[in-house]
Each structure stands twice: as structure tokens, then as C-alpha cells.
Amino acid sequence: MSGTAGTQRSAQAGIAALAAEMTAHGIERDAPPRAVMAMLGDRWTHLILLVLETGEWRHADLRRVLAQLSAEQAISQRVLTEKLRSLERYGFVQRAVTDHVPPHVSYRLTEIGQGLVAQSRRTLDWINRHAAQILQARDGFDAQRVGLCI
């Protein structure tokens, strides 16, 4: 058996296993594996989760601290509300409303949300440990692309 044929069989077996895994857990866009990974990869959700890991936050205070922590412009009230609703929909965040006048609304992580943040922190720790290699690879790739464009 040649190396190429063995590699192809190995790749085909890996793809078959991946397809079976995806079928078992949902291949649709709104299936939990795809939806949660998409949420974590957007511009704000992961940072919101990391802030909520520190405790319960009122909307305005959360918005203010996100602006302080982000190198980007401040999150709009509408976008923050959408992100929080999405996180609440998936069970990661709990919204609490007091009976004060006016009512006070605050957000905190649920137990499953705490578990998600713990998992994402492991990934973040891995990224931080390999940051120099990642930056070196990115710089090398970018340098090659610049050379190709000349």
C-alpha cells in the first residue's frame, strides 16, 4: 500500500467519523455545537461571558465595563441586549428583574454558563501559551502574501 493510498483511507475514515459525530449532535445551523461555537466566535459574546464570570451585573454597568476592557468601540445597548438574550435563550445567562420602581435588571451566569466559561478559559489559556507561535505563523504568512502581491 502506497503512502498516498494509506493517507486517503485515513482521511476518509476520519471524515466518516466526523460525519457520524455531526449527525449525532446536529448538523443544522441552529444545532447546539454550531450555534454555541458561532456565538463564542462573535465580537462580544466571549467577553460578556468573562465579565459575567466575575459576578452579577446590571445592564448599564456591564456595558460600561465592556467598553473599558475592549480595544474596539463601545458595544451598543441594542447589541448588548441581543447578545444577552441569546445567552439567556441557550441557558448560559439568567436575567433577574427586581420589583423596585423603576425595576432593576441584572444578569449572571447560570451553572451551565459557568461550565461553558470554564471550558472556554482552557482554550484561552492554550491560545495564550502559544501566542508567540501563532503570531510568528501569522507574520510569516502575511510576509509571503505581500511577496506574492508585488
Task: Quote the pTM value.
Answer: 0.82
Q: Are 108 and 48 in contact (CB under 8 A)?
A: no
Q: Is 131 among the domain residues?
A: no
Q: Is 69 among the domain residues?
A: yes
Q: Is 9 among the domain residues?
A: no
Q: Is 70 among the domain residues?
A: yes
Q: What is the pLDDT, as a whole number, of residue 7?
A: 83
Angle between helices 77-89 and 59-69 (to 10 degrees): 110
Classified as helix, coil or strand, 31 is coil
Q: What is the pLDDT, as a whole number, of residue 9?
A: 84
Domains in the chain, number? 1
CATH number, domain containing residue 66: 1.10.10.10
Q: Is 124 among the domain residues?
A: no
Each residue of 23-34: pLDDT tens digit? 888 788 888 888
Average pLDDT over residues 111-135: 96
Each residue of 34-47: pLDDT tens digit? 888 989 989 999 99
Q: Is 53 among the domain residues?
A: yes
Q: What is the pLDDT, as a whole number, of residue 88?
A: 97
Q: How far apart are CA 28 and CA 11, in angstroms?
A: 23
The end-to-end CA distance of the chain, in Å, is 43
Domain interval for residue 61: 31-110
